[in-house]
A = this chain, B = another copy of it.
Amino acid sequence: MRYFDDLNIGDSIETGSHTFTEDAIIAFARQFDPQPFHTDPAAAKNYIFGGIIASGWHTASVTMRLIVDSAIDVRASLGSPGFDDLTWKQPVRPGDTIRVRWTCTEKTPSKSRPDIGSAKFLIEVFNQHDALIMTMTSIGLSLRKPR
């Protein structure tokens, strides 16, 4: 089990990857972000993107899934109070494959709760051409090793 104490500043993990299908892009967007450039391939041609692109919230949610699968020990994780500086740098289109680089940049033991700690992570998301398509800074809370 990987506790807060087992995490080091500079630790970096590359996750597995995920490929976006047009069907999945449309299904997510119909539910959560029904704008024509996410839901309608024909209408999307008339927007600056020139075709359908994934909702940024879809990209962020898939990013979370890749992190949970590869980088978080769910037995020690206590969730997150938020994130910062989320930037969508390039659109994700049908057929694109993304992966995530997750790097620990800061860790702070809780003063009020000796059994937990808080860490900061730089999240960088790349596509199959190694282009950086999304970045954010996240905070994660996790359990400390029992003493």
Which residues does A use to contact B, with CB under 8 Å? Answer: 28, 31-37, 47-49, 53, 55-57, 60-62, 64-65, 68-69, 72, 74, 77-89
20 contacts between A and B (CB under 8 A): A31-B65, A32-B62, A32-B64, A32-B65, A33-B65, A34-B68, A35-B72, A35-B74, A48-B78, A56-B80, A57-B60, A57-B61, A57-B64, A61-B61, A81-B87, A81-B89, A82-B85, A82-B88, A83-B86, A86-B86
How many chain copies? Answer: 2
Separation of A68 and B77 alpha carbons in the complex (Å) = 32
The smallest C-beta distance from A27 to any residue of chain B, in angstroms, reads 10
The A interface, classified by DSSP as helix, strand, loop or mixed, is mixed
